[in-house]
Structure 1
């Protein structure tokens, strides 16, 4: 970046207006726009970035990417591990991989490059282009209210990435249906709006990985225009696998087996015996086959070992190498403890 642009970027970490830069990836130069991304993470020493490609206007089939600092995750792998886990259990998930970032000749450390959830995300998966919304804050809880207070708007908490005003109205209709349909009719009505089996798959993934924020935040909503049904896509899953958003330990029972209470769609679905039974069956299967140390240990170690040489060159992480070295064992112990807790509480779903 030109020094004047870099100084402007640094001058206001909350400014979302992008600034020009030249980005070199594998010896190919791109003119890009760059801005900080994230909410509270912008105040960290190591910041995350949003990058849009200008000329050439595409990189690896994407016109924009996200570079996540993963600053509070001592392993730097939790986000990718989570998104790969979701993909493994059949949930639409963005692809990701780690990169080294050098800015104006200064190493800035390891970042996680995240695929943007947009029309190109759908195109790569041969899905019809349809409206996409980002859940940008905890108002995205599928309810009319939050913490007992009426929300300003039914679709408060959602930012439209792709779509128009008619799509906003469709989302309002979804929220209306969730909140006003009687118990007698709910199980027959909601499958006309939500792809239930995929939503329950997502619930299983969110409950296993234990992302406390992920139930009312950190996800995208996509409406398939061929079916008219909404699907949910996970996003920003660094505070998982036993770590809080600040990097501290999270007890294995922190999120109950029913998910976070604030998500009203989760709550209503689990009030219906047929959906509760379906969720329990899906969860049991994943606990037996996917969410196991046997299935995850090699993936954890492979990711961890691939990053270790680069950790030593990361100015923000190299002094914490001892903690980094212990993370595979920490994550595997979390899997054991979390799995045991969930199996012990399966009867609550009867």
Structure 2
């Protein structure tokens, strides 16, 4: 069975508005034929520098859902995001559902895309996680740091410059700003209790395992979703934009399995791992995943299935960036990464 085919239709005037400024955040009206239904939508381009690529990604909103249709242009496998999110789910970290598809826009074949579930209110309702606020970490200023060279006024204003509020109110911005300030200023004696009271530490350490194991160098200071639970008032985290993983960076270049250190990065991670209690918990989780979830036996059947499902359509993709022999070799590239990454991390567990 081939991939599902989705057809987007955008009227001429709306299409002109969409294409006249690829950097615009303005949504235009259209429709999509998806899952056997013709659905009214609003659509825009999404991404940063990738908007300049010949194969562009889209954000599509229906009356109740948001989807991201990722071109996966820089990933020669077209499956690293899908693989990463499945892996996070396997280690009990909520992650977006994905589905590869063939996409058309106004009758033009755009090629193979990855439909990614938007992480908004519906995402959390579906998983029975009541949340009061949702933030996207949209750039590399989302590392929970305070710039000591800035004035107090500008520092307060810049603390959230790496975040976009998706759900919530101004008070939720204030709550996050205060959290970052307290994270950076509390004494060691106060900090341990603060972390336990304000962070879902099990969730955070599982997410840290996922980011470290998959080797997402760009996933610590950006490319994550940060949310506050309604009942516990604790913050949680989940992954986003994981194409730069499994042995390649976000531009598709090969990277060494040692690129991301075992301790991970960002201020919050450093603050947590400064305590033996959290280091031991992280070490235990990491060891478990190295023995079970993060093994060739567990990973490669998923890789081969995803790769098999898209290979015929990839051959017909008019905007495929990579030679087909590179695409064909990607399962082996990922297998090699898993083997080398397991060895690298196993040898460094003693550093925790």
In which range does the TM-score fall when normalised by the shorter chain?
over 0.9
Aligned pairs (5 A) from 1:1-350: 1-53=10-62, 57-58=63-64, 63-145=65-147, 151=155, 152-260=157-265, 263-317=266-320, 320-349=323-352
Deviations 1:80-124 (A, max 9, x none): 100110011011111111111011111101111111111111110
Report the CA distance between 1:131 and its aligned residue.
Answer: 0.5
Could you tell me whether the CA contact under 8 Å between 1:77 and 1:303 is conserved in 2?
Answer: yes
Measure how far apart 1:318 and its partner are.
Answer: 8.2
Any idea what SS the aligned residue of 1:50 has?
A: strand
Distance 1:241 1:284 in 2: 19
Deviation of residue 27 (structure 1)?
3.7
Match for residue 3 of structure 2?
none
- Aligned-partner Cα distance in 1 for 2:141–2:225: 13
How many angstroms does 1:149 deviate by?
Answer: 6.2
Match of 1:173, SS state, is helix
**Does structure 1 retain, via aligned residues, the 8 Å contact 2:292–2:298?**
yes
Instruction: Answer yes or no: is the 8 Å Cα contact 1:241–1:334 preserved in 2.
Output: yes
**Cα 1:149–1:73, aligned 2, differ >3 Å: closer, same or farther?**
farther
SS of residue paired to 2:166: strand
Post-superposition shift, 1:320?
Answer: 2.0
Query: Gaps (5+ residues) in structure 1?
Result: none
Q: Which runs of 5+ in 2 are unaligned?
A: 1-9
Aligned to 2:6: none
How big is the shift at 1:32? 1.1
Indicate conservation of the 8 Å contact 1:91/1:202, yes or no: yes
Quote the offset at 1:341 in angstroms: 0.6
TM-score (norm 2): 0.93
State the secondary structure of the residue aligned to 1:314.
coil
Q: Is the 8 A contact 1:143 1:179 kept in 2?
A: yes
Separation in 1 of the partners of 2:326 and 2:47?
A: 25
> Alignment RMSD, CA only?
1.5
The offset of 1:319, in angstroms, is 6.6
**Alignment check: 8 A CA contact 1:130 1:224 kept:** yes
TM-score (ref. length: structure 1) = 0.94
Q: Determine the C-alpha separation between the residues in 1 that align with 2:192 and 2:287.
A: 22
Q: CA deviation at 1:140?
A: 0.7
Deviations 1:9-53 (A, max 9, x none): 222111110111121114421121110001111111111001111
Number of aligned residue pairs: give it: 339
Following TM superposition, by how much is the alpha carbon of 1:253 offset from its aligned partner in structure 2, in angstroms?
0.8
Q: Deviation digits for residues 198-222 of structure 1, max 9, x if unmatched? A: 1000000000001111001110111
- Aligned residues of 1:311 and 1:318 also touching (Cα < 8 A): no
SS at match of 2:119: coil
